[in-house]
A and B are shown apart, each in its own frame.
Chain A
Amino acid sequence: VLDMANEDDAAPRTLDEARDLWRHSDLATQDLAANLCEQLRLILEPTVATKLRGDYKTGKRLNMKRIIPYIASQFRKDKIWLRRTKPSKRQHQIMIAVDDSKSMSESKSVELAFHSIALVAKALTQLESGSLSVVRFGEDTKVVHPFNRPFTPESGAHVFQWFDFQQTKTDIQKMCSQTLKLFNEVKADADDLWQLQIILSDGVCEDHATVQRLVRRAREDKIMLVFVVIDGINSNESILDMSQVQYVPDANGNMQLKVERYLDTFPFEFYVVVHNINELPEMLSLILRQFFSEIAGM
């Protein structure tokens, strides 16, 4: 379903240029990536004490549920013991979806976006427990790094080739619906697979109601969406101060003007606003912890 970036496709940036950009972002995020990796390890890896489980012929404690069948089977069904087993390492599939629209360059969020891609990609690669994909979106949605390929520094440069932040639309709705399909397609033996999408964008998008429905569907499919709002550092405006004008029908069906805080209708439940690359590890782990604690309580 999803458009894949092929080598022969004309990427908007030359590989040399992209390599320079990657080197710059790589340097700028070295310590931060190690820090984020440690925090992610704590969040993503199972921390619950080892449990007694399983059906074994020998073990630590009897599994009471197996006793009756054991006797009834003339002592043939003798896997009646529980053992302490190591928790299995969770497998992750993490997708970074990055806003390639023109508003990103208008709001001077480009450098922060590149640094964020580098930071998150490197931290996840160091985790070594899952696969990583990068998608760009704007008017179109394109996979610029697929799940089935390891992420190397050269991959970083190839990914950067695909971003010039000139797309004239920010179709978050299309991005969500297409990437949800992709997540569902690659979902292997579902149980122990965690699918997470980290969206990096300036957060300016239309049609919050429709996007919210997609976000809910993702949640039902156990795909986690976390939105990192990149708030331009050099500009004197912020998404936190932005309002939205809407027209809602009153009791008589007449359209009434309503001005509300933009973020009040923001469709993503789990989001953070980041102004500086140094804030990202802390913010991202904060929101992921919140996410996982809520999931655990479900």
Chain B
Amino acid sequence: MSESQEQIKIRFITRDEDETIHVSENPLYVPVSLKRYGLSEIVNHLIGHDSPIPFDFLINGTLLKTSLEEYLKSRELSTEAFLTLEYSRAVLPPDFLASF
């Protein structure tokens, strides 16, 4: 499946007022190799949207720009942590959005 078999427990939250993009805050066990794209895919899967919405992810107020694995490494955290990921609609240049 991916280079790393390791998984981590996460939870998604959002402050978006649009309730149609809210997901359950129950824990999810996911591969640590995930980056923004994969995380967006999961949120979209949970929402059940036809047209996928690109999302940005914040952990403790910091925008996630790497994989979860690299994030953990940079914070000296292990996969034993329970991460809360706050998502919001991605703010991206239009041409990038088109290729998403």
Contact = CB atoms under 8 A, between A and B. Distances in A.
A243 B26 contact: yes
Interface string B1-34: 1100111010100000000000010111111000
Contact of A247 (B2, B26, B27, B80): B2
Contact of A244 (B29, B46, B81): B29
A242 B9 contact: yes
Question: What 8 A-B pairs are tightest by C-beta distance, nearest first?
Answer: A168-B78, A102-B80, A241-B26, A103-B80, A244-B29, A245-B30, A242-B27, A247-B1
A106 B29 contact: no
A121 B2 CA distance: 41
Interface in A75-103: 101-103
A6 interface: no
Nearest to A248: B1
Contacts of A262: 29
A234 interface: no
Nearest to B11: A237
A245 B80 contact: no
Contacts of A206: 5-7
A239 B82 CA distance: 13
Interface residues of A, number: 25
A188 interface: no
Contacts of A247: 1-2, 31
Interface residues of B, number: 23
A243 B28 contact: yes
Contacts of B30: 244-245
Nearest to A167: B80
A257 B42 contact: yes
B26 to A, nearest CB: 4
Given A206-B7, A259-B46, A244 B28 contact: yes
B27 A169 contact: no
A283 to B, nearest CB: 22
Given A103-B9, A246-B1, A257-B41, A241 B27 contact: yes
Contacts of A241: 24, 26-27
Given A103-B9, A241-B26, A259-B45, 12 more contacts: A102-B81, A103-B82, A106-B80, A106-B82, A168-B78, A168-B79, A170-B80, A204-B9, A239-B27, A242-B26, A243-B26, A244-B7
